[in-house]
């Protein structure tokens, strides 16, 4: 049985417009008499409240516009599918206030809402813990590098120093590049670009694969992002530099060395010139290789965690889709709950965390 639907304006929520201001009204630091404002870039899967903030005079912000616990923040000018279908305008497309107020959503009884929230909260708890585990894992290898070699910029251990040209070969030239419009969701060979994701997409044309030896380090000329690549790949569009470490430089050591470099931001200009000005420490090869072996062990464990992360996201996505399409009914839960609890328990054990059943027994 499907739930009835109701519009947001029908007692579900108050739709409040954001603060209006111009560039001349803002400052970029906290000051008495000013309030921080969240903009489109701060609104993602969760609110980013520690970066890219601006402050406006507090007189610009009405009491209704001040965020409170349990408020829902929505970016109405982002590229989400529903927004794209609803938005109007030739420049920055925005959802109209009336369209948002008239948005219909499933509206089950309060008792049913509570049961749904309980289930979603448990799945979201795993997602939060998953992110915490990922953040912890991300700190391990930089810390190991610093422990074994010291800060490369200060070189407290007195390692020999070499220039970029004596550490890497730039092996970018002579390879074909694939435009982003040609990326596939699946394919025979991965595409590596300068974006945040390790793999930007795929291609079925293996003839355009990178022709040099592996492994290599990909550097985002605009983004300053480094990626360690040890599998066949295709270069994605412009802005990717491929660096091959010299014979006496361990590739994984070189990659983590690069990750610790402080390369100044020049906006969306190219940064390769700054990288070429850097100096690089050259510890004993045996020590580099030891770091590499420890890194491989840690990376293999990270791979297991990443597979678990994908499973956690899949669980949450299934629950969320069913909850807000009106299908997370008692009948659906009866058919799928056992399977979901088993999967949640497995993921909790992977994270070395109490399972839902264990949590209940400890309560």
- Residue 132's pLDDT is 75
- Residue 240's pLDDT is 94
Q: Which domains occur in the chain, in start order?
A: 5-106 (no CATH), 110-136+296-362 (no CATH), 160-282 (3.90.220.20)
In order of 37, 53, 56, 57, the CA distances from 68 in angstroms are 13, 18, 18, 19
DSSP secondary structure letter of residue 267: T
- Residue 182's pLDDT is 93
Closest CA to 95 of 103, 105, 87, 107: 87
pLDDT (tens, 9 = 90+) of the chain, 363 residues, equals 567 888 888 878 888 888 888 888 999 888 999 999 988 778 776 777 877 788 999 999 999 999 988 888 887 765 444 344 444 444 445 677 778 888 887 777 888 788 778 777 877 777 777 777 777 777 888 999 999 999 999 999 999 999 999 999 999 999 999 998 899 999 999 999 998 889 999 999 999 999 999 999 999 999 999 999 999 999 997 789 999 999 999 999 999 999 999 998 887 789 999 999 999 999 999 999 999 999 888 877 666 666 666 677 777 777 777 766 666 666 666 666 566 666 666 666 655 544 333 343 334
- Residue 119's pLDDT is 76
| Cβ density class 262-280: b for 16+ within 10 Å, e for less | eeeeeeeeebbebbeebeb
Beta-strand pair 177-178/189-192: unpaired
| Cβ density class 82-96: b for 16+ within 10 Å, e for less | ebeebbeeeeeebbe
Q: Provide the terminal-to-terminal Cα distance of the chain, rounded to the nearest Å.
A: 34
Q: Which residues are bridge partners to 329 per DSSP? A: none
Distance from C-alpha of 167 to C-alpha of 279, rounded to nearest angstrom: 9
Q: Which residues are bridge partners to 160 per DSSP? A: 282
- Residue 327's pLDDT is 65
- Residue 121's pLDDT is 82
116 cis-preceded (ω within 30 degrees of 0):
no
């Amino acid at each position: 049985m499907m739930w009835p639907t109701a519009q947001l304006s029908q007692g579900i929520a108050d739709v409040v417009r954001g603060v209006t201001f111009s560039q001349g009204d803002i400052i970029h630091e906290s000051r008495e008499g000013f309030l921080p404002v969240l903009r489109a870039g701060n609104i993602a899967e969760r609110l980013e409240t520690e970066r890219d903030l601006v402050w406006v005079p507090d007189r610009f912000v009405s009491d209704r516009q001040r965020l409170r616990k349990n408020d829902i923040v929505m970016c109405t000018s982002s590229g989400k599918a529903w927004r794209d279908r609803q938005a109007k305008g030739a420049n920055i497309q925005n959802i109209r206030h009336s369209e948002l107020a008239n948005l219909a959503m499933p509206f089950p009884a309060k008792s049913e809402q509570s049961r749904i929230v309980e289930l979603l909260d448990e799945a979201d708890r795993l997602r939060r813990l998953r992110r915490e585990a990922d953040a912890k894992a991300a700190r391990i290898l930089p810390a190991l590098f610093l422990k074994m070699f010291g800060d490369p910029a200060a070189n407290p251990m007195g390692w020999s120093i070499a220039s970029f040209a004596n550490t890497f070969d730039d092996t970018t030239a002579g390879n074909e590049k694939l435009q982003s419009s040609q990326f596939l969701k699946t394919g025979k060979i991965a595409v590596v670009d300068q974006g945040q994701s390790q793999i930007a997409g795929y291609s079925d044309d293996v003839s355009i694969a990178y022709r040099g030896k592996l492994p290599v380090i990909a550097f985002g000329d605009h983004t300053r992002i480094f990626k360690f690549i040890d599998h066949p790949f295709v270069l994605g569009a412009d802005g990717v530099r491929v660096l091959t470490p010299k014979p006496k430089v361990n590739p994984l050591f070189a990659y983590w060395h690069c990750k610790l470099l402080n390369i100044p931001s020049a906006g969306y200009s190219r940064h390769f010139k700054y990288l070429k000005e850097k100096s690089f420490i050259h510890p004993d090869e045996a020590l580099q290789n030891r770091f590499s072996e420890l890194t491989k062990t840690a990376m293999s464990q990270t791979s297991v965690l990443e597979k678990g992360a994908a499973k956690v996201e899949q669980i949450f996505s299934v629950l969320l889709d069913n909850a807000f399409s009106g299908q997370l009914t008692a009948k659906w839960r009866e058919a799928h709950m056992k399977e979901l609890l088993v999967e949640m328990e497995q993921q909790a054990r992977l994270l070395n965390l109490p399972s839902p059943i264990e949590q209940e027994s400890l309560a």
